Amino acid sequence: MPRVLLTGIAGFIGFHLARRLAAEGYSILGIDNINDYYDPSLKLARLKELGFSPASIRDYEEIPSRIHPGIGFLKLDLTERERVESLFKKESFPRVVHLAAQPGARASLTQPYAYIESNILGFVHILEGCRSTHVEHFVYASSSSVYGGNKKQPYHEDDRVDTPVSLYAATKRSDELMAYTYSHLFGIPTTGLRFFTVYGPWGRPDMAYYKFVKAIFENQPIDVYNEGNLERDFTYVDDIIQGVHAVLQKPPSGSPPYQLFNIGHSQPVNLLTFIEVIENSLGKKAIKRLLPMQQGDVLSTYADTGRLEEYSGFKPLTTIEQGIRRFTEWYLSYHAKNK
């Protein structure tokens, strides 16, 4: 198997993708800066699950997994240009999966520099590494947030994406444009994936579903924005990984060799219905605090995934009831062990 450079390996999606690739015998170098956007202990716990002892992690030193032969971890911040250049000079990676980013649309309104540095500067550094080493396939994470104020639904890849409502969305759209430019100029086979509200075990604590489960379990109120009149295309993480894996095997061959896909469940769920599913899974009722719409938010997300299905056979199979049950089981188990 060709060695894969996987950025954001300690993150939610990166962790799950690493486990999938490791199970198939891939050689992987995973990178993460383990920042404190949310509790780093969860990121370290994910790395531990992959076989990396938190006590052995040092800046800029690759360490091997104790569980998966051929998999290494490197603590590195992608905004450090010279360090990234050195990495690509040291080793060529036939395939690069770039998932590292500063996440969260709402936080981008108050912390703009973090998003510019990570999502723009870090992205360019990876692109330059791909250019200098003639990467065979560059796969990167975009976001459904790029559709912004677009009122046409379901969202299709050919829809206009020039009305972002958060800086996070603007950085993700910028990534798409830069990736296209590098593909056009330098012939880098490039695939962008617009993720739609990914959820599941080992997920991010800043996401609504995680906050809801925590608050309901602890008998605390939950904040329900726009009084619950929101819809999200919730997509279970295993379905996402199946799609990413399928795309990774098929580099584009067009001119330029560039493609862009929605990757979602294609079944939007009303927020109040979603909360009800969580209540049923926990066997407890939520204390709802109904609030107005938040700045930087959108009313609905809904993915048209026909293009990805035709290209790769992608078809999400996990229902919202199945996914939430698996998440709550993980949540209760994980937090029981880490009290």
Q: Are 291 and 227 in contact (CB under 8 A)?
A: yes
> Which member of 37, 140, 147, 168 is catalytic?
168
Is the Cα dihedral 142, 144, 148, 150 positive or negative?
positive
- For 158, residues 6+ apart whose C-beta sits below 8 A from its C-beta are none
Phi and psi at residue 259, to the nearest 5° = -150, 160
Residue 315: count of CB within 10 angstroms of its CB? 13
| 168 annotated active-site | yes
Q: Are 3 and 40 in contact (CB under 8 A)?
A: no
Distance CA 31, CA 68 (A): 16
Task: Compute the residue count for the chain.
Answer: 339
Which residue is associated with the tokens 């925590």? 214
Distance CA 307, CA 6 (A): 25
Token output for 3: 């060695």
DSSP 231-300: EE--EEHHHHHHHHHHHHT----SSS-EEEEEES-S--EEHHHHHHHHHHHHT---EEEEEPPPTT--SB
Residues identified as active-site: 168
